[in-house]
């Protein structure tokens, strides 16, 4: 199907009528239970000295001890730094690779492109810990072993489909008439790509980047195998706190992970909306 072409297009709007408010209430309740409530519980656990049922006594004993312990712990700070680097840098590199793969899949009509599409989605069928073991033995005889680069390569190889799928869908929606019109007017391939195709791909690029960045920040199964001292990430550090029974520190670090992911989503979404508005 094609939704972006040289012809006009108007989406249809469904009138919910009397069902509008009941449906809104259901969505609001689900959002509170599935999103807001877990975050509130995490925050509560991070400010009480130990596991306590909410009560007047518990609220009176609230303090920032666990937060101070996390923010002054060198390993926790290193895991924050590594996760942020992998989330931003890894997602950026991953979306660039996804762009070229998606372009070949959609624009190059051949058996090779179909094989590439199937190959790029094979990682969905492999458990992360199994992929991590494979990469560990692959890197063990190389200088990449026990480095942040091993994690970066493993993340991109595992989660590349999260960038390819949105970009493939975005490429499919762009009609070839637009590229042909640019060429008729004298625009070369690079000019057409820069001025016509890429601006229309911005929503797909933003969606793919957000998916990859959030997956990189929270990744655990692959990180458990590939992470070594000096390359700790947030998920691994949270797991260590859980093993040691440090639930307050675990909750504080979990809140920081949520904050990082949410901030990345908001910033990139706004940048994408601004670019889309400028290009339109």
Residue 8's pLDDT is: 54
Domain with 268, as residue range(s), is: 65-279
Question: Does 46 map to a domain?
Answer: no
Residue 31's pLDDT is: 93
Residue 1's pLDDT is: 44
Q: Give the count of domains, the chain.
A: 1
Query: What CATH number is given to the structural domain containing 163?
Result: 1.10.3720.10
Note whether 55 and 271 are within 8 A (CB). no
Which stretches of 8-127 are DSSP H helices? 20-31, 37-47, 56-60, 65-71, 74-85, 91-107, 111-120
pLDDT tens-place values along the chain, 280 residues long: 445 555 555 667 787 778 888 999 999 999 999 999 999 999 999 999 888 888 888 889 999 999 999 999 999 999 999 999 999 999 999 999 999 888 888 877 777 777 777 777 777 778 888 888 888 898 888 888 888 999 999 999 889 889 988 898 888 877 766 766 777 777 677 777 777 778 888 889 999 999 999 999 999 889 999 888 889 999 999 999 999 999 999 999 999 999 999 999 999 999 988 887 755 5
Question: Does 110 map to a domain?
Answer: yes
DSSP lists the bridge partners of residue 51 as none
Question: Does 28 map to a domain?
Answer: no
DSSP 134-151: HHHHHHTTSTTTTSHHHH
Question: Does 19 map to a domain?
Answer: no
Closest CA to 123 of 157, 169, 152, 164: 157
Round to whole Å and give the CA distance between 255 and 118: 37
Question: Does 53 map to a domain?
Answer: no
Question: Does 117 map to a domain?
Answer: yes
Question: Does 90 map to a domain?
Answer: yes
């Amino acid at each position: 199907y094609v939704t972006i072409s040289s012809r006009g297009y108007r989406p249809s709007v469904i009138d919910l009528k009397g069902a509008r408010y009941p449906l809104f209430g259901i969505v609001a309740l689900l959002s509170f239970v599935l999103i807001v409530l877990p975050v509130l519980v995490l925050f509560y656990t991070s400010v009480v000295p130990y596991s306590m049922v909410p009560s007047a006594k518990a609220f009176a004993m609230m303090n920032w001890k666990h937060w101070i312990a996390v923010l002054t712990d060198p390993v926790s700070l290193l895991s924050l730094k590594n996760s942020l680097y992998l989330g931003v840098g890894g997602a950026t590199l991953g979306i660039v690779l996804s762009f070229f793969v998606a372009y070949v899949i959609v624009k190059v009509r051949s058996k090779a492109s179909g094989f590439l599409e199937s190959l790029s989605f094979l990682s969905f069928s492999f458990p992360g810990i199994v992929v991590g073991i494979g990469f560990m033995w692959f890197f063990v005889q190389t200088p990449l072993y026990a480095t942040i680069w091993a994690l970066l390569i493993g993340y991109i190889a595992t989660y590349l489909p999260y960038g390819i799928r949105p970009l493939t869908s975005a490429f499919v929606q762009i009609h070839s008439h637009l590229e042909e019109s640019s060429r008729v007017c004298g625009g070369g391939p690079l000019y057409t790509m820069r001025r016509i195709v890429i601006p229309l791909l911005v929503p797909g690029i933003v969606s793919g980047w957000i998916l990859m960045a959030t997956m990189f920040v929270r990744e655990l199964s692959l990180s458990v195998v590939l992470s070594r001292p000096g390359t700790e990430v947030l998920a691994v550090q949270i797991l260590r706190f859980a093993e040691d029974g440090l639930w307050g520190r675990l909750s504080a670090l979990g809140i920081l992970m949520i904050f990082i992911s949410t901030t990345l989503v908001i910033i990139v979404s706004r940048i994408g909306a601004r670019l889309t508005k400028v290009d339109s």
